[in-house]
Amino acid sequence: MDRHSRISVRTNCYSVPVRYIGRRVRAVLHANELVVYDGATEIARHERLIAKGGERLVLDHYLEALVRKPGALPGATALEQAKAAGKFTPVHEAWWAAACKARGDRDGTRALIDVLLLGRRIPHEHLVAGLAATPRVGALTADAVALEARKAQEADDADMAPPELEPPRRRESTVTFLTARRLAHLPPDTRPLPSPAPYDQLLGRRTRGTTTASKGEQMP
């Protein structure tokens, strides 16, 4: 690895994070990409260069060095490649220009680098949304960008959330007893309702017979 935080693989150069300068790393070359490891930890992944003598640089790999030397950013090859890849957008450019106008070139560039460091934990599209929103609210700081990016992410999450479904209505079940079900299939009963009159006649006969027997017992 050279002092510009690059490794050379088959005549082409690829960047690795500057914190690994001076350490031995392992590069694995595949058909379409190059993966760089520090021990078992992946530290960089690049699209493979086909032509000879080329270089593939990732702007994020140099941010720690640029924090100390922000003046090196404007002419950096890694910045030009980030623009060509669409990672550094016109929204970034406009925010950077506004920050430099408000705070001076050095401090404005430092503020931009702090924003770029946010890209390690905030998705790119939400970070761009945060950059676009902060000039409108008059806050050109990394903290303000992080806040607006989080709002954009929450809005996207809300749009993607499935609609709340109403709980299914509980159907009231009707219980039918087996006896009632059987009776419902029987033909109608046309017989007259029972009468207690015959029982009253039997009861009267029994009373008279008992009285006669009692009188017979009193005869000499």
Q: Provide the pLDDT confidence category of residue 138 given band limits of 50, 70 and 90.
A: confident
What is the Cα–Cα distance from 149 to 120, expressed in whole angstroms? 13
In the sheet with 55-56, reading across from the earlier edge strand, the strands are: 6-9, 12-15, 55-56
What is the Cα–Cα distance from 206 to 220, expressed in whole angstroms? 25
Terminal C-alpha separation, the chain:
149
The DSSP code for 59 is: G
Residues 79-107 have a mean pLDDT of 96
Residues 60-72 have a mean pLDDT of 96
pLDDT recorded at residue 137: 83
pLDDT recorded at residue 214: 45
Q: Provide the pLDDT confidence category of residue 18 given band limits of 50, 70 and 90.
A: very high
Q: Provide the pLDDT confidence category of residue 140 given band limits of 50, 70 and 90.
A: very high
Q: Provide the pLDDT confidence category of residue 208 given band limits of 50, 70 and 90.
A: low
Residues 196-207 have a mean pLDDT of 64
pLDDT digits (tens, 9 = 90+) for 143-188: 999 999 999 999 988 877 676 666 666 665 566 666 666 666 667 7
Residues linked to residue 27 through DSSP beta bridges, in sequence order:
36
pTM of this prediction exceeds 0.85 = no
pLDDT recorded at residue 167: 65
What is the Cα–Cα distance from 116 to 62, expressed in whole angstroms? 11
Whether residue 2 is predicted with pLDDT greater than 90 in this model: the reply is no
Phi, psi of 114, deg, nearest 5 = -60, -35
Which of 66, 68, 104 is CA-nearest to residue 88?
66
Tell me the longest C-alpha to C-alpha distance in the chain.
155
Whether residue 191 is predicted with pLDDT greater than 90 in this model: the reply is no
Average pLDDT, the chain: 85
Which residue did the predictor score with more confidence, 129 or 161? Answer: 129
Phi, psi of 84, deg, nearest 5 = -65, -30
Provide DSSP, 78-128.
HHHHHHHTTSS-HHHHHHHHHHHHHH-HHHHHHHHHHHHHHTTTS-HHHHH
Residues 54-80 have a mean pLDDT of 96
* SS3 state of residue 158: helix
Whether residue 209 is predicted with pLDDT greater than 90 in this model: the reply is no
